Structures are given as C-alpha cells and as structure tokens.
C-alpha cells in the first residue's frame, strides 16, 4: 500500500511560525510503536526498516524541499527584528556560544538530568537563541526557552497535538554542542563571500527530523546565482553546488 504525505501549513506566531511549518510533514513512512511516542529512543534501540519504495522516497524528497523553501521564506520575516538590533557577531563567537550552552545546562530544572532539544533551534547574530526542550519530568510536554542578554528565560509551554511524534523530533543537547554554530557560520560566510550579491549569514537554525540534525539556510542566493548548501551534523561542509 502506498503511503502519503499530509502537509499542513497553519497560522503562526513569531517564534512558533517556523516551527508550525516544520511540523507540516509528519513521519508517516515508518510505523512507530504507540508506547514509544513520548520517550526518546537510545541509539542502541532499532526498529525494522520499511521496504524501499522509490515513489515514497520521491514524495519524501519533494515534501522536504517544499518545507525547506517555506521555512526559509518565513524565517526571513522572522529574522527582521533581530537584524535591526545590535550585532554582536554571536554566531562566530565560540566563547559566547559555549557560555550560552553552559548556562542552559545549569538551569535548576535540568540539574542532574540529560537535556533533549525538540524540533528546532534558532541562533541569531545579535546574541539571541530560541529553542524548545523536552520537559524534565513529563516527557510528553515541551517547553519554549529564550536566551537574551546572556540569560535564559523561564519555560513557556508549547501546545502539541496527539499526532505529534515527539520521539522522532528529539536530539540530546550533547549532539549539538553550540560551538558547532561557529563552525557553520564560518562556512556560510566563506561561501557567501564567493557569490556576487550574497549577504553574510545573520541567523542559523537547526531542524530535527528522525532524530537527525538539518542545518539552515540550505541555500545561498546571489544577484546572479543560487547555490544549495548542506552541512554535516557537526556543522562541517557536506555539499555546495550551483542550482
């Protein structure tokens, strides 16, 4: 039986706008045991792979491309408020990125507990970060956090649907050391410098799909050319080619 993709694009608020779009493509291609929906599956645990279906694979690629395009267009509007603020070169400052990560680890509610990032993270060059974390006590809850002026905010609840597959949208914080943002920023800026009319990166975001990291932006636009760019999970360059 062929499987299908359901894409839902909903109205959004400032922070959750991109997130609502990223929730549009649900992981309907691999069955997930009901009792594992709200818990993070460790690396050593595996589930049987679904048989390879070229048609389904094409659907996945087309849907992901649509999400990438919408996410990037939506993010441009979202980022305007941060571009207007004072730039601190936060994206390339390893010391400040490490400080932000250490401050996150020291939040009282996560003391002695492993932190899991949910769905997406947004880093801005003015020193701001937006992310969502799995609740430290109830794995079915997700909270929003903001990093501004060198401090993390109190958590605010994220409304989820019973259809949201939390398990597949989680990664442990240790899998995304914030210093990797500086690696990614260096690559983005080095590539934009080669493309006429392209602007230096002012924000970097990470989306989590099937417990894997995907970096954005995924393209560099110049006045005459457009390039696709893909990074490895650790923020190093994987692919850069003209479209």
Whether 237 shows a pLDDT value over 70: the answer reads yes
Q: Is residue 34 part of a domain?
A: yes
Domain co-membership, 237 together with 179: yes
- Mean pLDDT over residues 103-121, rounded? 97
d(CA 22, CA 16): 10
CA atoms within a 13 Å half-sphere pointing along the CA-CB vector of 142: 25
At 87, is the pLDDT very low, low, confident or very high (cuts 50, 70, 90)? Answer: low
Question: What is the span of the domain harbouring residue 178?
Answer: 90-242
Q: Is residue 11 part of a domain?
A: no
Total domains, the chain: 2
Average pLDDT over the chain reads 78
Give tens-digit pLDDT for 160-219: 999 999 999 999 999 999 999 999 999 999 999 999 999 999 999 999 999 999 999 999
Q: Is residue 110 part of a domain?
A: yes
Domain co-membership, 27 together with 47: yes
At 64, is the pLDDT very low, low, confident or very high (cuts 50, 70, 90)? Answer: low
**Which pLDDT belongs to residue 88?**
76
**Which pLDDT belongs to residue 52?**
52
- Mean pLDDT over residues 12-21, rounded? 41
Domain co-membership, 199 together with 130: yes
To the nearest 10°, the Cα dihedral for 31, 20, 185, 144?
Answer: -100
At 6, is the pLDDT very low, low, confident or very high (cuts 50, 70, 90)? Answer: very low
Domain co-membership, 109 together with 208: yes
Q: Is residue 210 part of a domain?
A: yes
**Which pLDDT belongs to residue 83?**
47
**Which pLDDT belongs to residue 59?**
55
Domain co-membership, 150 together with 236: yes
Q: What percent of the chain has pLDDT over 70?
A: 64
To the nearest 10°, the Cα dihedral for 97, 204, 60, 166?
Answer: 40
Whether 47 shows a pLDDT value over 70: the answer reads no
Q: What angle do CA 67, 71, 75 make, to 5 degrees?
A: 180
At 21, is the pLDDT very low, low, confident or very high (cuts 50, 70, 90)? Answer: very low
- Mean pLDDT over residues 28-52, rounded? 43
Chosen domain end from 51, 84, 117: 84
**Which pLDDT belongs to residue 121?**
98
**Which pLDDT belongs to residue 84?**
42
- Count of H-run helices and E-run strands, the chain: 4, 11
**Which pLDDT belongs to residue 54?**
58
Domain co-membership, 234 together with 145: yes
Chosen domain end from 37, 52, 84: 84
**Which pLDDT belongs to residue 60?**
53
Q: Is residue 6 part of a domain?
A: no
Chosen domain end from 35, 57, 84: 84
Q: Is residue 7 part of a domain?
A: no
């Amino acid at each position: 039986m062929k499987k299908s993709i359901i894409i839902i694009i909903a109205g959004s608020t400032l922070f959750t706008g991109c997130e609502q779009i990223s929730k549009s493509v649900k992981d309907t291609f691999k069955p997930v045991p009901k009792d594992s929906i709200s818990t993070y599956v460790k690396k050593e645990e595996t589930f049987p792979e679904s048989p390879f279906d070229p048609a389904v694979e094409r659907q996945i690629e087309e849907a992901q491309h649509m999400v990438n395009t919408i996410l990037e267009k939506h993010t441009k509007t979202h980022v305007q408020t941060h571009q207007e603020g004072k730039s601190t070169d936060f994206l390339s400052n390893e010391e400040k990125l490490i400080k932000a990560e250490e401050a996150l680890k020291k939040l009282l509610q996560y003391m002695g507990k492993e932190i899991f990032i949910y769905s997406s993270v947004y880093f801005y060059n003015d020193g701001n970060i937006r992310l969502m974390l799995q609740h430290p006590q109830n794995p079915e809850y997700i909270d929003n956090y903001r990093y501004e002026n060198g401090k993390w905010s109190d958590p605010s609840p994220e409304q989820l649907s019973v259809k949201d597959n939390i398990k597949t949208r989680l990664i442990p914080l240790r899998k995304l050391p914030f210093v990797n943002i500086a690696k990614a920023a260096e690559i983005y800026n080095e590539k934009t410098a080669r493309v006429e009319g392209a602007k230096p990166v002012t924000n970097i975001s990470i989306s989590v799909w099937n417990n894997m990291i995907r970096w954005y932006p995924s393209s560099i636009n110049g006045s005459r050319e457009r390039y696709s760019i893909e990074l490895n999970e650790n923020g190093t360059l994987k692919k850069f080619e003209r479209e």
